[in-house]
């Protein structure tokens, strides 16, 4: 399985939804980076279940333990291991799907690939695996902030039909964190919350869009031709469970524009070359151009719904399945820190690789 991500700054996540624990091993992190469990925990608290009535009611504290690689509050340049115990798994809730495939889940495909599957909460395919990503991403974001002041802010911009009115250039993390939906448009956030709550009562689910803006990005990040920065960002985002689409800059809307409208003209801003528009989303030719990186990620409705669904058993017999368990009616509020984490992991990897590209 593809459990490792990155080249110089590499992470390997491990663990299953209903196993003893989940975690991550980070290799290639530079030494002398100040980091603490408190900083990692702050990001994990944004991802953990049970935050509100519109998220999964699984009760996990997701308390992180740093097991190696950090001494006296600093990274040592050696492999860093972090772990979170699973304490509130209810495997009995999944007994009914032991021999039945949940629609739009990984049950059938895992069975076909490996010959068997862990039916307890989806095993390795569960979004609980992303704990390791968020923990590693907290460290990645710390390095980027320390080295070049880079800031990564993601937020919910759309839930189902409800679209927020947001200026990405002005969004602050404090605005994102001011409500349980993680939408900086307070009016839209209230409407989103009520809609998700109604969907939860109906035993259904909804999807939406998360946008992300990355500020103070150095020029030169990204390696043509196959390791383009936007290609690695797309891979990182589409590796997150429940994602179905990625677009950067003008994205799919570029098809409505002519070249004269879409091109980003250069100008000299007091000795620094800038672009007057940013349809490129901060990346040109696969390399960062110094402008803000801006992208969007589409998330599907949560596959598990508490309504009867037609399916088949592992032997191909037709059956009706009504899943039990505790699931998010909308994954977006908890996916915001995951998007930030994956963006941080991509950018820190490319930042470290860029340090090897030129000799003074």
CA distance 273 to 270: 8
Q: pLDDT value at position 95?
A: 63
- pLDDT over 90 percentage in the chain: 84
Q: pLDDT value at position 118?
A: 84
Q: What is the pLDDT confidence band of residue 97, given thresholds at 50, 70 and 90? A: confident
* Averaged pLDDT score across all residues of the chain: 94
Nearest to 289, CA basis, from 278, 299, 297: 278
Torsion of CA 124, 125, 128, 130, to 10 degrees: 100
Q: pLDDT value at position 166?
A: 97
Check: CB of residue 186 under 8 Å from CB of residue 180: no
CA distance 232 to 133: 15
Q: pLDDT value at position 120?
A: 80
CA distance 94 to 280: 45
Q: What is the pLDDT confidence band of residue 49, given thresholds at 50, 70 and 90? A: confident
342-353 pLDDT, tens digit each: 999 999 999 999
Least reliable range by pLDDT among 35-49, 125-139, 201-215, 310-324: 310-324
CA distance 141 to 151: 8
274-320 pLDDT, tens digit each: 999 999 999 999 999 999 999 999 999 999 899 999 999 989 999 99
CATH number of 4-354: 3.60.150.10
**Taking CA 240 as the corner, what is the angle to CA 309 and CA 290, rounded to the nearest 5 degrees?**
145
Nearest to 156, CA basis, from 16, 10, 328, 41: 328
CA distance 338 to 241: 10
Mean pLDDT, range 234-259, rounded to an integer: 98
Q: pLDDT value at position 93?
A: 59
Q: Where in the chain are the domains?
A: 4-354
Q: pLDDT value at position 117?
A: 86
Check: CB of residue 260 under 8 Å from CB of residue 358: no
173-214 pLDDT, tens digit each: 999 999 999 999 999 999 999 999 999 999 999 999 999 999
Burial class (CB in 10 A: 0-12, 13-18, 19+), 252: exposed
264-269 contacts at long range (C-beta below 8 A, 24 or more positions apart): 264/291
More confident residue, 55 or 170: 170
Whole-model pTM above 0.85?
A: yes
Burial class (CB in 10 A: 0-12, 13-18, 19+), 253: exposed
pLDDT > 70? residue 1: no
Least reliable range by pLDDT among 25-39, 108-122, 179-193: 108-122
């Amino acid at each position: 399985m593809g459990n490792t991500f990155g080249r110089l700054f590499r992470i390997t996540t491990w663990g299953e939804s209903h196993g003893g624990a989940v975690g991550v091993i980070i290799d290639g992190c530079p030494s002398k980076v100040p980091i603490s469990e408190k900083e990692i925990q702050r990001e994990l608290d944004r991802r953990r279940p049970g935050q509100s009535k519109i998220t999964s009611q699984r009760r996990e504290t997701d308390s992180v333990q740093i097991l190696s690689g950090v001494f006296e509050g600093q990274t040592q340049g050696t492999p860093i291991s972090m772990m979170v115990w699973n304490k509130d798994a209810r495997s009995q809730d999944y007994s009914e799907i032991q021999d039945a495939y949940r629609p739009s889940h990984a049950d059938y495909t895992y069975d076909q690939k490996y010959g068997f599957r862990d039916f307890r909460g989806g095993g390795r395919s569960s979004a609980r695996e992303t704990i390791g990503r968020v923990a590693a991403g907290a460290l990645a974001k710390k390095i980027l902030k320390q080295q070049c002041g880079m800031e990564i802010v993601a937020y919910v911009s759309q839930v189902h039909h409800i679209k927020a009115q947001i200026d990405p250039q002005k969004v602050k993390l404090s605005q994102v964190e001011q409500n349980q939906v993680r939408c900086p448009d307070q009016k839209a956030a209230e409407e989103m919350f009520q809609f998700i709550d109604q969907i939860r009562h109906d035993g259904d689910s909804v999807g939406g869009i998360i946008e992300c803006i990355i500020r103070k990005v150095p020029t030169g990040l990204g390696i043509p031709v196959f390791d383009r920065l936007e290609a690695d960002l797309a891979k990182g985002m589409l590796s997150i469970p429940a994602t179905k689409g990625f677009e950067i800059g003008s994205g799919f809307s570029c098809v409505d524009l002519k070249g004269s409208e879409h091109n980003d003209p250069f100008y000299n801003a007091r000795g620094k070359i800038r672009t007057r528009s940013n349809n490129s989303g901060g990346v040109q030719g696969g390399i960062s151009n110094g402008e803000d990186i801006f992208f969007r990620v589409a998330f599907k409705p949560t596959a598990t719904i508490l309504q009867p669904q037609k399916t088949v058993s592992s032997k191909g017999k037709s059956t009706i399945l009504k899943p039990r368990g505790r699931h998010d009616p909308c994954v977006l509020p908890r996916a915001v820190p995951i998007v930030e984490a994956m963006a941080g992991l991509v950018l820190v990897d490319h930042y470290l690789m860029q340090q090897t590209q030129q000799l003074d």
